[in-house]
Amino acid sequence: MVGVLLLSCGRGGSDRKASGEPFQVRFVDVTEEAGITIKTTSGGEEKRYIVEAKGGGAATFLDYDNDGWMDIYIVNGSRLEGFPPGKEPRNVLYRNNGDGTFAEVTEEAGVGDAHWGMGCTAADYDNDGYTDIYVANFGPNVLYHNNGDGTFTDVTEEAGVGDPRWSTGTAWGDYDGDGDLDLYVANYVNFDVHNLEKYRKVNVWRGIEVMAGPRGLEGAEDVFYRNNGDGTFTDVTTEAGLTDRLKGYGFAVLFADYDNDGDLDIYIANDSVPNYLYRNNGDGTFTEVGLEAGVAYSEDGREQAGMGAVFGDYDNDGDLDLFVTNFSDDNNTLYRNDGDGFFTDVTFQSGLGAPSLPFVSWGTEFLDYDNDGWKDLFVATGHVYPQVDQYNFGMTYKERNQLYHNNHDGTFTEVTDVAGPGMQIKKVSRGATFGDYDNDGDIDVLVLNMGDRPTLLRNEGGNRNHWIKFRTVGTRSNRDGIGARIWVTAGGLTQMREVYMGSSFLCGNDIRVHFGLGKNDEADLVRIRWPSGLVEEFRDLKADRLYILKEGEGIYRVVKFGRTV
């Protein structure tokens, strides 16, 4: 069955300029007009304890009601002293109205968790066709099952995924190829709120006293859950070879096939200790190869403060490269995949090193914001020490996020200054989630800010170039098609992306796979390799459409996003 559905966007002014004429993409803050009103909480303003400084906002785009529009789920935090009953900050769910605005539906949907939220992802863990939500908390995690009628049920206890520790990043992937999604949960520090005196000692940073940690504090081990296929999960951390030997202060979690062997590997960005790369052995176990693969340390062999991370083929050579965000006075790190199981740190030669040095960096993504066929880079920033504003360190607590344009030659140029008013905003940012919320054919950004409202950045101008999107529906594979790999060839350029859930800093993204096509008005060849191993090919697909691909059945539906001028 192949159908064509036309969706009309709620805003106009999207005509393309003549071919070859340069144009400038602008990001504009539309938070208020979109109706996103939540102000997140994360401890006190002085940030005396580490738990108060590391969260502060995470979110995921998801289409929970299957109407074709990306909704938003945002996690909220708390305070160490707590709140009066009924006054606790809660997570929120915003339903996309399809006209550029959102309606808050948290209460009727039943997803207003009031724990101290850290991260979240959304995936169809039970293959019933509806997207579920997993929330990582400081305190027990929560799994919400989508009932298919606009409501959710908390199934944490029966599912067996309510880790009570300080969890941070989560990601979904089918590591064993059995057709359902397994779950990796990173944990950070064993922090006891009933023994705060233990954490009152301070660190000294640049001569000033700041909060303790993470060094010197006891790390918390990560956990890996195998999906049993019946709505329950089993902790298989040890038997899968994923024992967190360093108790590594885990943050970002990524599933990706970095070595092109057809199964999903796992990368963990750790704060202040070596990062982990777990190679999937294909037999239900993993081997940690971060050091030998070249992604555990920086180029000069230093441990870094890994925060956010993302895989993406920035150089269009057919394998997944890796970008990791880090602390100030250190650089973010770009690892180029050499295609032989090894990576090379190319941070400074790519132009991404020096501009990152003054900033504490968090959420990130390879996004083709101008649809030219090359993946650009967004980085959310914000310091952890409010005290920096009292000194002339050349850095501030509130920081401006960064946008880098891909120069098509292995290098990037920072374009923050000319990327519109939304990129000039200074906040204490943490997570960032990426997706086309207004269905106009370019990628927008939702940035989560500590103790503040999020910033919804609408992309204005990216759709002046052509694009193509895919939504994968698995049959033999998991329903979301997570782990599928898609190649698109247009105008002599071949791009590759994987379907994933869990990236950036403690966030999930729009699960639809987006490719910019530049001035090409069709894709000459599209090839998909499903997690089951099935390969399908499609030729001469028209641009500026969403293609829903159903495993083994080809193109199930075509959605043409219209424009209201």
pLDDT over 80 (residue 13): no
Q: Tokens in use for 74? A: 């945002």
By three-state DSSP, how is residue 272 classified?
Answer: coil
Pairing label, strands 208-211, 167-173? unpaired
**The dihedral sign for the CA sequence 152, 156, 159, 163:** positive
Residue recorded with tokens 């990327």: 419
Least confident of 139-143, 232-236, 298-302, 372-376: 298-302
Q: Provide the pLDDT confidence category of residue 244 given band limits of 50, 70 and 90.
A: confident
Average pLDDT over residues 175-197: 93
Q: Quick one: what percent of the chain has pLDDT higher than 70?
A: 95
Residue 552 sits at the vertex; the CA angle it makes with 546 and 553, to the nearest 5 degrees, is 55
Range of lowest pLDDT (7-11, 34-38, 272-276, 395-399): 7-11
d(CA 107, CA 319): 43
Phi then psi for residue 502, to 5 deg, are 120, 110
pLDDT (average), residues 429-438: 98
Max Cα distance, the chain (Å): 67
Are 168 and 119 a contacting pair, CB within 8 Å? yes
Has residue 6 got a pLDDT over 60?
no
**Residue, of 16 and 292, whose pLDDT is higher:** 292
What is the pLDDT averaged over residues 32-42?
96
Running DSSP on this structure, what letter comes out for residue 97?
-
User: How many CB atoms are closer than 10 A to CB 194?
Assistant: 5
- What is the rounded CA–CA span in Å between residue 64 and residue 152? 10
Of 79, 156, 69, 70, the C-alpha closest to 110 is 156
Q: What is the pLDDT of residues 304-349, one digit of tens each?
A: 999 999 999 999 999 999 999 999 989 999 999 999 999 999 999 9
Which pLDDT tens digit goes with each residue over 437-484? 999 999 999 999 999 999 999 999 999 999 999 999 999 999 999 999
The answer to whether the bond into 214 is cis (omega within 30° of 0) is yes
402-406 and 412-414 beta bridge pairing: antiparallel
**Residue that the structure tokens 């991370």 belong to:** 309
Position 201 confidence tier, pLDDT thresholds 50, 70, 90:
low
d(CA 427, CA 447): 10
Q: How many CB atoms lie within 10 A of CB 106?
A: 18
Q: How far is CA 258 from CA 136, 317, 358, 476, in A?
A: 25, 13, 30, 23
- Sorted by where each starts, the structural domains of the chain and their CATH numbers stand as 3-562 (2.130.10.10)
Who contacts 268 (Cβ-Cβ below 8 Å, separation ≥6)? 169, 186, 222, 248, 250, 251, 252, 253, 254, 275, 276, 277, 278, 306
Q: How far is CA 215 from CA 188, 202, 206, 497, in A?
A: 11, 11, 16, 36
User: Does residue 108 have a pLDDT over 90?
Assistant: yes
Q: Strand 361-367: give its sheet, edge to edge.
A: 361-367, 376-381, 402-406, 412-414
Check residue 351 and report its DSSP letter: T
Query: Residue 547: beta bridge partners?
Result: 470, 558
Once rounded to an integer, what is the mean pLDDT over residues 203-219? 86
- Cα–Cα distance between 168 and 186 in angstroms, integer? 6
Residue type for 226, please? R
Nearest CA among 378, 420, 422, 425 for reference residue 399: 425
Beta strand 3-8 with 554-562: parallel, antiparallel or unpaired?
Answer: parallel
Copy the structure tokens of residue 410.
Answer: 């292995």
Q: Residue 1: which pLDDT band, with cuts at 50, 70 and 90?
A: very low
Q: d(Cα 248, Cα 270) in Å, to the nearest integer? A: 6
Q: Calculate mean pLDDT across residues 269-295.
A: 97
pLDDT surpasses 50 at 257:
yes
User: In sequence order, which residues have a C-beta less than 8 Å from that of residue 372 and are 6 or more positions away?
Assistant: 406, 408, 465, 516, 518
Tokens representing residue 534 in the block: 């099935």
Q: What is the mean pLDDT of the chain?
A: 93
Strand partners, 445: 434, 457
Cα distance between residue 398 and residue 94, in whole Å: 26
Q: What is the dihedral of CA 226, 68, 58, 515, to 10 degrees?
A: 90
Report the alpha-carbon distance of residue 398 to residue 556 in Å, rounded.
Answer: 46
pLDDT at residue 123 greater than cutoff 80: yes
Residue 23's pLDDT is: 55
Strand 444-449 to strand 485-490: parallel, antiparallel, or no bridges (unpaired)? unpaired
Buried-exposed string 18-51: b where 16+ CB fall within 10 A, e elsewhere? eeeeeeebbbbbbbeebebebebbbbeeebbbbb
Q: And the tokens for 123?
A: 């995936």
pLDDT for 21 equals 40
Q: What is the CA radius of gyration of the chain?
A: 22
| DSSP letters spanning 192-251 | -TT-GGGG--EEEETTEEEE--STTSPB---EEEEE-SSS-EEE-TTTTT---TT---EE
Burial 122-152 (b: 16+ CB within 10 A, else e): bbbbbbeebbbbbbbbbbbbbbbbbeeeeeb
Confidence of residue 205 (pLDDT cuts 50, 70, 90): confident
Span 541-551, pLDDT tens digits: 999 999 999 99
For range 352-366, the mean pLDDT: 96
